[in-house]
Amino acid sequence: MSIPTAHNTAKKGEMAKTVLMPGDPLRAKFIAETYLENARLVNNVRGIQGYTGSWKGAPVSVMASGMGIPSMGIYSYELYNFYDVENIIRIGSAGAISDDLKLRDIVFGLGACTNSDFAAQFELPGTFAPTASYELLKIACEKAEGLGLAPVIGNILSSDTFYDDRQDAMLKWKGMGVLAVEMEAAGLYMNAARAGKNALAICTISDHVITGEALDAEARQVSFTQMMELALSIAQALDAQ
C-alpha cells in the first residue's frame, strides 16, 4: 500500500522513527501541545490526531491508537510497514488485577496475555507469546530509575472485552500472576514482532478491578504526566543511539 493510507494522511517522512501511542486522541493532542516543540498535526483521519515535533532535540511523533486490538492493529501495522517507524511506545491506562499494585503505579508490560484471536492470522503451529522488545524495556528501566520512578514489570492482559459476562475472569488471570488489564498491548507486540520492529507498553494504574478503587479525572492527569515524560525520555535516548 502507498501512503497516505486510508487511515493516515501523513506523507513520507512526516512520522518520526519513535511514536508514542496513547489510546485517546485528546491525550495525543495534550502531549503534543504540552511537550513537543514545533508540533504539527500530520494526521487527523477519524479524529485520531497524529503530531510530529521534537523533545529536547529528538524527533518524536505522538498518535492515538483508539480502543482495542483491532484499532491498534491497524495503526501500528501501517506505522511499522508503511511509514518506516522503528519504535512504538504505548502509553495508556490499565486496571490493576494484582493485590500488589496501587493506584498511580506505573507498569511495564514485559508480556501481554490476551483473549483475542489476533494471532490466528499468522497461522502458527502453536501459541504465540507476545512480549515487549528488550531494547526498549532496558532503556525504560534506566530512564525510570533516573526519574525516581519504580515501575512494576511483568505480564499484563490485553482483553477484547471491557464488560466481561464472566464474573470470575479477572480472578483467573490474577491466579496466573497477571498484573493488570488493558486492551491494546498484545496486538502491538505481535505487529512489532512480525515487522521486526520494537514495542513497549507503559501503563499507569487508573483503577483496581478487584477492589473497585479508581482515580478521578484530575488525579489521572497528574499521574499520566509522569508516564508521558518517561516515554519522551525513552524516545530521546533512542534518537541518541
Which pTM was predicted?
0.95
- How many domains does the chain fold into? 1
Q: Is residue 13 part of a domain?
A: no
Domain that holds residue 231: 18-240
Catalytic-role residue among 165, 207, 216, 239: 207
Instruction: Identify the CATH number of the domain in which residue 141 sits.
Output: 3.40.50.1580
Give the sign of the dihedral formed by CA 52, CA 53, CA 59, CA 65.
negative
C-alpha 209/C-alpha 219 separation (Å) is: 18
CA dist 159 → 103, 144, 219 (Å)? 20, 26, 25
Active site residue 160: no
Q: Is residue 9 part of a domain?
A: no
SS3 state at 92:
strand
Q: Is residue 117 part of a domain?
A: yes
Give the sign of the dihedral formed by CA 94, CA 97, CA 100, CA 102.
positive
Tell me the β-bridge partners of 151: none
C-alpha 105/C-alpha 159 separation (Å) is: 20
C-alpha 185/C-alpha 130 separation (Å) is: 8
Give every CB contact of residue 230 below 8 A, 6+ residues apart in sequence. 106, 140, 143, 144, 147, 149, 202
Hunting for cell 501511542 — which residue is that?
Answer: 21
C-alpha 135/C-alpha 222 separation (Å) is: 28
Q: Is residue 39 part of a domain?
A: yes
Q: What pLDDT sits at residue 6? A: 84
Q: Is residue 175 part of a domain?
A: yes
Q: Is residue 214 part of a domain?
A: yes
pLDDT digits (tens, 9 = 90+) for 217-231: 777 766 699 999 999
Q: What pLDDT sits at residue 5? A: 85
Q: Is residue 156 part of a domain?
A: yes
Q: List the one residue out of 181, 182, 159, 196 whose CA is nearest residue 77.
A: 196
Q: What pLDDT sits at residue 127? A: 95
Contact 3, 80 (CB under 8 A): no
pLDDT digits (tens, 9 = 90+) for 66-86: 999 999 999 999 999 999 999
CA dist 2 → 12, 16, 83, 191, 234 (Å)? 10, 18, 10, 19, 30
Amino acid letter, 106: I
Contact 33, 226 (CB under 8 A): no
Give the sign of the dihedral formed by CA 109, CA 112, CA 115, CA 121.
positive
Q: Which residues of the chain have pLDDT under 70?
A: 1, 221-223
C-alpha 66/C-alpha 143 separation (Å) is: 27
Hunting for cell 478491578 — which residue is that?
Answer: 209
Angle 25-35/217-240 helices, nearest 10 degrees?
60
pLDDT digits (tens, 9 = 90+) for 90-124: 999 999 999 999 999 999 999 999 999 999 999 99
